[in-house]
Chain A
Amino acid sequence: MLIGHPPRPAIAMTFDLVLNVAAAGILTGLVYGLMALGLSVIFGVTRIVNFAHGEMMTAAMYGAVLLFATVKLDPLLAAIPIGAALAVFGYALQSAVINPFIDRPEHSQFMLMVAVAIVLVNGLLMIFGPNAQNVMVGYAFDSYQLGPLLIDATRAYAGAAALLVAGLLFAFFRFARLGKAIRACADNQFGAAVVGLPVKRLYALTFALGSACLGVAGCLLVLMIDVSPPLGPAMTLLAFVIVIVGGLGSMTGALVGGVLIGLSEALAGLVVPPSAKSMVSFAILILVLLFRPQGLVGRRA
C-alpha cells in the first residue's frame, strides 16, 4: 500500500523501531554491496586494489545530480547511461594506465590508484565545489507500509535495483562465455594467456564491469544520501571494509558484507551519535582482519 507524503508517525524506541531501522539498513546495505561488488570483481580478476573506488562512485553520483538538474532524469533511469559512462571510463583507465602496472610491485599499483583517486576527488571539488548536493525526486517522501514496517520508497527501489544488477552480474559470470573467460583469467592468468585469451583486454573489460556496478550504485545511493567530494574517500574506505569483511575477491562475500555493514551501521545509529556510526564498521574490519583475514565468506588463499 502506497502512502503519499504521510506525516511520519512517531515511533517509540521499541522493537518496531529496531525492526524499521534494520530494514532500512539492509536496503542501504544492498546498495553498499553493489558498490563493493565492483571492487571485489576488479580485485578478484586483475588483483588491482582500486583505491579510487569511492571517488569514481562519487563522480557517478555527481553525474546523476547533473542529469536530474538538467533534464529531470530520474536517478533510477540515469543509472543506465551513467553505468555505461563509468564502464567506458573503467575500460580506458585499465587499458591505458593500469595494464602496464600488472607486473609491478603491489605498492607501486597502490600508489598509482591513490594518485588517480586524489586527482578525481579534487577534480570534483574544483568542478562542483565543497557544498553537498542532492536529488529531490517526486517520491522522496513516499513510503510503503508492510505490517509494522514503514519503508522509504527511495530505499526500497534502490535496494531492489541493486539486487537486480548484482543478479545480472552473477548470471554473466556464471553463464556467459565472456564471463567464463574472465573467470579463467582470474584463476590463472598465465594459463588463460596460453589458451589464447586476450588477458589484458579481459582485464579492461572486468574493470569496465566493476565500474558499471559502481555507476549504478552511485545513482541509487544519490537517492538516499547527499553527495559532496569528501564522500569519495569515505566510500572507498567503506567499500574496503565491506569486501574485507565479506572476503576480498568473493562476489557473494561483497553482497553479504554490504548488507552486514549497512545493517550494523543502521543499528549502531540507535545507540551512538550518527557521526560515530562508522566506528562500528572499522571495529568490525579490524576484528575480521585479525581473526579471519580471508573474510567471512572467502576461502583461505
Chain B
Amino acid sequence: MRARVLLSLLAVALVAAPFVVSGYLVSVLIVALYFAYVGQAWNIMMGFAGQLSLGHALYVGLGAYTAAALFVQSGVPPWLGLIAAIIVAMAFAAAIGFLAFRFGISGVYFALLTIAFAEFTRIGFDHFGWVGASAGLFLPVSQRSGSDLLALRGTPTMFYYVILALAAGAFALSRWLLTSRIGFYWMAIREDQDAAQALGIDTFRYKLAAVVVSAAMTSIAGVFFAFYYNNLFPEQIFSIGRSIEIILGPIIGGLGTLFGPVLGAFVLQLLAEALREGVSALGLEIPGLTQVFYGVCLLVVVMFLPNGVWPPIARRLRL
C-alpha cells in the first residue's frame, strides 16, 4: 500500500516535471532517467540472476550504432531501426552467453569476458568504415518547431517523455519478472547455482535468458542515446568507463531491488550535476572531478552500505 502511494507520487512528479522545472533541469532529469533505465536493465542480469557484466556498454553501443547507421545510410525510420538494434544486441548477447555458459565460465572470468567482448567490439568499430570508424557517426539534425515522435526528432521534452516511458516500462517489467517463475529461477541461480541445478532448473537456459533480456533492454537505451545526442564515437560509447557508469546506479541504490537502480541513478546524477554546477560557479573547470565523486560514492557505499542505499530506506519507510 505504502509502496503504491510512493510510486504514484513519484509518477505524478515525474510526469509533471517538464511543466514545472527549467529546460536545464529537464536535460539533467533525462540523463538520470537514462541511467535509471540502463541500470534497471543491467540489474536483471546481475541483481536478479547474479551474472556480473562489466561490459554493458557493448549493448548500448550496438543498439545505438545499428539504429543510427540504418537511419543515416538507408533512411530506415528509428522505430524499425529499434527492432534491428534489439535483434543485433540479442544475437550478440546470445552468442556471448552461449560461449561463456557452455564453457562453464563464471565469476571473475565471466566479468572479464564481458569486458573483453566490449573492448574487442570498440576497437572493431574504430575501424568499421561503414559507420564512420573512429571519426564518428553523425545523425542529421533537422530544425523542427514541433515534435515528431515517429521520426524520434523533437524537443528535449519529447525525449524526456520517451525516456520516462522507457524507465517506467523497465520498472514494470522488472517487477513482473521478479514475481514470475523465471525470476524465482534467476534468484535461485544467483544464490546457489549448484543447488538450483540440483533442483532441476536448467541453469544454462535461464542464465542465457537473463543475458539476452538484459541486452535487449540495454540496446533500446542505445537507440535513445543515438537519436538524443545525434553523434556516436566508438571510443565514447563502448568504453569501459561507460560500462562502469551503467552499474553505479544499481549498486549504489541496491542490487537486485526494484527501486535501487532508480534511486541510485537519481541520487548520483543530481549530486554530480550539483557538484559540476558548484564548481563552475566558482569559475573552475576540473576534468575528472565528477568521476572522482562517483568513485568516492561507490567506495563509501560498498564499504559501509554493502546492500545499497535503498534497503535501509525501505525499512525506515516500512515498505
Contacts and interface: CB of A to CB of B under 8 A. Distances in A.
Contacts of A289: 103, 105, 109, 112-113, 116
A106 B288 CA distance: 28
B127 A276 contact: yes
Contacts of B54: 110, 114
Given A111-B251, A129-B287, A278 B123 contact: yes
A126 B289 contact: yes
A240 B123 contact: no
A49 to B, nearest CB: 5
Contact of A283 (B120, B291, B292): B120
Given A126-B289, A130-B287, A118 B117 contact: no
A285 B296 CA distance: 31
A137 B104 CA distance: 48
A233 B241 contact: yes
B115 interface: yes
Contact of A118 (B105, B107, B126, B244): B244
B17 interface: no
Given A115-B295, A119-B292, A122-B288, A244 B120 contact: no
Nearest to B102: A290
Contacts of A278: 119, 123
A111 B250 CA distance: 12
B286 A276 contact: no
Interface in B136-189: none
Contacts of B240: 233, 237
Contacts of B120: 279, 282-283, 286
Interface in A196-252: 229, 233, 237, 240-241, 244, 248
B287 A110 contact: no
Contacts of B299: 112, 115-116, 119
A279 B123 contact: yes
Contacts of B134: 275
B89 to A, nearest CB: 18
Contacts of B23: none
Interface string B293-319: 011101100110010000000000000
Nearest to B255: A107
A104 interface: yes
B94 interface: no
For B111, B289, B292, the residue with the greatest tally of chain A CB atoms inside 10 Å of its CB is B292
A122 B275 CA distance: 15
A110 B116 contact: no
B124 interface: yes
A282 B306 contact: no
Contacts of A100: 303
Interface string A77-104: 0000000000000000000010010001
Contacts of A121: 288, 291
A15 interface: no
A106 B127 contact: no
Contacts of B211: none
Interface in B45-80: 46, 52, 54
B99 interface: yes
A123 interface: yes
B288 A123 contact: yes
Contacts of B126: 275-276
B287 A97 contact: no
Closest 4 CB pairs of A and B: A118-B295, A125-B288, A122-B288, A119-B295
Interface of B: 46, 52, 54, 99-100, 103-105, 107-109, 111-113, 115-117, 119-120, 123-124, 126-127, 134, 240-241, 244, 251, 255, 286-289, 291-292, 294-296, 298-299, 302-303, 306
28 contacts: A100-B303, A106-B107, A107-B46, A107-B52, A110-B52, A111-B298, A112-B299, A115-B298, A115-B299, A117-B295, A118-B244, A118-B291, A118-B294, A119-B299, A123-B288, A123-B292, A125-B288, A126-B288, A241-B116, A248-B108, A273-B127, A276-B126, A279-B120, A279-B124, A282-B123, A289-B103, A289-B112, A290-B105
Given A275-B126, A278-B119, 18 more contacts: A97-B303, A106-B107, A106-B108, A108-B306, A112-B302, A112-B303, A119-B296, A122-B292, A125-B287, A126-B287, A126-B289, A129-B287, A233-B241, A275-B123, A278-B123, A286-B113, A289-B109, A290-B99
